[in-house]
Amino acid sequence: MKIIKQIFTSFIKGPVYLILFGLIFFGIGAGLTYKQSSMEQEGTQAPGEVISLTTSCDDDGCAYAPIVSFKTRDGITVTFESIYSSNPPAYDIGEKVTVIYLPDMPEKAGIKDEGMGFRIVFMIVGGLITCVGLGIFSTRVVKSFIRE
């Protein structure tokens, strides 16, 4: 029972927050990657074109999201705004892109491979923070057993 108490005490004194924070970061990146992967497997691809850019500004500056137009297999023209924005803009007006959409919900389309760097950074940062938290935890556990 004393061993469990030592491990629990070592865990609660700090690294639990690092581990949780890291897992949340990793989970966000993994969840977005899973969503993109599912869309690519279940969806249909179509050629699209960036027809304009939307601008959203705050105290840190402005970010630009592409507005893309494409035609479904049924010949319906669909226009959507990307969920990813950047500064400088990642796309130029008139640029051709590959769109992925679900045939029953074409308005929920996305640009193929968009946001990959964002997702990878979230998973790497989350993984590193989790590893640091686990390292601190294991060091504290070992030190608590050495003290005895």
CA distance 5 to 9: 6
Token digits for 129?
């923070």
b/e map of 38-73 (b: 16 or more CB within 10 Å)? ebeeebeebebbbeebeeeeeeeeebbbbbbebeee
pLDDT at 113: 82
pLDDT the model gives residue 148: 63
Angle subtended at Cα 67 by Cα 63 and Cα 72, rounded to the nearest 5 degrees = 155
pLDDT of residue 12: 67
pLDDT per residue over 67-108, tens digit each? 999 999 989 999 999 988 899 999 999 999 999 998 888 988
pLDDT higher than threshold 80 for residue 9: no
Q: State the total domains in the chain.
A: 1
Domain range spanning residue 90?
2-146
pLDDT(3) > 70 = no
pLDDT digits over 38-62, tens only? 888 888 999 999 999 999 988 888 9
Residues 68/78, Cβ–Cβ less than 8 Å: no
- Judged against a pLDDT cut of 90, whether residue 130 lies above it is answered with yes
DSSP per residue, 38-93: HHHHHSEEEEEEEEEEEEEEETTEEEEEEEEEEE-TTS-EEEEE-S--BSS-SS-T
> How distant, in Å, are the alpha carbons of 44, 93, 94, 113, 125 from that of 78?
14, 17, 16, 19, 36
Mean pLDDT over each residue of the chain, to the nearest integer: 87
| pLDDT given for residue 42 in this prediction | 87
| Range ranked top by mean pLDDT from 1-5, 32-36, 77-81, 100-104 | 77-81
How far apart are the C-alpha atoms of 73 and 77, rounded to whole Å? 10
